[in-house]
Amino acid sequence: MAETTGSGTAAGETEPRLRKASWKYVGPGIVVAATGVGAGDLVATLIAGSKFGYTLLWAAIIGCLVKISLAEATGRWHLATGRTLFEGWRSLGQWTTYYFAVYVVIWGFVYGATAMSSSALPLVALFPDGPSLKTWAVICGLLGLAFVWFNRYAVFEKAMTVVIGMKFLIVVYVAIRVAPDLGNAFAGLAPVLPDGSLLYTLGLVGGVGGTITMAAYGYWVNSKGWTDITWLKVMRLDNRVAYITTGVFVVAMMIIGAELLHSTDIALNSGDRGLVDLGKVLEDKFGAVTANLFLFGFFATSFGALMGVWHGVSLMFADFVERLRRERGAAGGTGDMVEEVAAGKREKSLPFRAYLLWLTFPPMGLLFLDQPFGLVIAYGVLGAFFMPFLALTLLWLLNTSRTPGQWRNGWLSNVMLAAAGLLFLVLCVKQIMDLDWNSFF
């Protein structure tokens, strides 16, 4: 957000000269946009468009503004304090360590299988006579592992730029192909809640692009070489590019849902398979070329999210392990942690690669077995708590002496983060209530 600082520079302090924002620096935002909007997000938006037409378009726009404020707060913490986000969490007490330790292990195990299956679905649709879904899923997991293992951030960012380009061009092309009703689209910017739309509205505002990758954004900012507050303007431009791009995806998918499905009363499956259903609808209406293009876009969306998590969450896990090592006085625990992320040391570390393996190989077992009910319940509960955890801890960190006075939150950031925290708490309760608890007992 534009207004984030406190009352200004304190007496005796000299405010550093900020670098001029320039498009040539944009990069981490592209990574977070390619990672944060997965196939499930596109399906949720598509179904909202199919049920309510353009009526909830305003909610998707507000959702992007909420994510801009959250990602800006994450990046600002890294730049203003010279400390990583996990260092900030650790300063709030040991409870954050316990939560993150359990979360990152269970979440990574289940997410790994989900990401591999999601990437495999469009490949099965594109090549029906080829390998099975499970085989494609294993191949996608191994490709993601190999790419992240052997490449550093600079190459990773270039690959994610290609991914975002494919997603952008294909989804926007399909949205144009279905001939949007611009009058109804503009009318959808007025905040209206049709009957039965409250939960869809909350999901659009809070769900699309809102995952652990928002916490990883600060690590990608450091990996880019942005390590101090002089990069603040650059980071803000980069962050806005990320969520404006996300907004374009959301609007495009809502157009597709409104024009192709709502007007013809076609229902889709929930979950990632809904995008395969859409491919069939597109083939019937526009031919195989448009359908196959969309399926390639679906693959780019899913595989981009897989690569982003393989890299970003592994960076967070490596930082988590290094922080614990230093607190216990382990040998070699010296040096600035932000600078070490910028130098690529985390990407070469044993914890980074160990978590990469954890994301890839154990989840392959879930591809061939029904997911254990207890594990699914734990995954759902921990995942539901993460976004309110992120929003509320950022609110805490950026309003206390942990952040230099001139870079603390102002009223606008506080309002946005508080609203985000409340929104995610409501979604958290809903998600936990929706879990199949009967199967657990």
DSSP letter string, 182-249: HHHHHHTTS----TT-HHHHHHHHHHTT-STHHHHHHHHHHHTT--SGGGHHHHHHHHHHHHHHHHHH
d(CA 25, CA 19): 11
Under the banding of pLDDT at 50, 70 and 90, the label for residue 61 is confident
d(CA 324, CA 257): 47
Per-residue pLDDT, averaged over 378-389, amounts to: 77
Q: What is the pLDDT of residue 358?
A: 97
- H-helix or E-strand spanning residue 11: none
In degrees and rounded to multiples of 5, residue 409 shows phi and psi of -65, 145
**Of 82 and 366, more confident:** 82
In terms of average pLDDT, the best of 70-74, 248-252, 427-431 is: 70-74
Per-residue pLDDT, averaged over 28-40, amounts to: 85
Under 8 Å CB-to-CB from 258, ≥6 apart: which residues?
A: 49, 50, 53, 54, 180, 181, 184
Quick: pLDDT tens for 385-426.
888 899 999 999 999 999 999 999 999 999 999 988 888 888
d(CA 73, CA 71): 5
| Tokens matching residue 323 | 């922080």
* CB-neighbour burial class of residue 345 (10 A; exposed 0-12, middle 13-18, buried 19+): middle
Q: 21 — alpha (psi -120 to 50), left (phi > 0) or beta?
A: beta
d(CA 247, CA 355): 31
d(CA 337, CA 367): 36
Contact 399, 370 (CB under 8 A): no
Per-residue pLDDT, averaged over 44-56, amounts to: 83
Under the banding of pLDDT at 50, 70 and 90, the label for residue 430 is confident
d(CA 60, CA 47): 13
Per-residue pLDDT, averaged over 119-146, amounts to: 93
- Angle between the N-to-C axes of helices 133-150 and 288-327, in degrees from 0 to 180, rounded to the nearest 10: 50
pTM recorded for the entire structure? 0.89
**Of 183 and 237, more confident:** 237
Query: In terms of Cα–Cα distance, which of 111, 113, 118 is closest to 295?
Result: 118
Q: What is the pLDDT of residue 8?
A: 39
Cα four-point dihedral sign 384, 389, 391, 392 = positive
Per-residue pLDDT, averaged over 35-55, amounts to: 80
Under the banding of pLDDT at 50, 70 and 90, the label for residue 9 is very low
Query: In terms of Cα–Cα distance, which of 222, 209, 220, 249 is closest to 69?
Result: 209
Average pLDDT, the chain: 85
| Tokens matching residue 70 | 């959250």
pLDDT at 309 over 90: yes
What is the number of H-type helices and E-type strands within the chain? 18, 0
Quick: pLDDT tens for 256-277.
888 887 766 666 665 667 778 8
Contact 239, 4 (CB under 8 A): no
d(CA 402, CA 396): 9
Under 8 Å CB-to-CB from 332, ≥6 apart: which residues?
A: 325
pLDDT at 198 over 50: yes
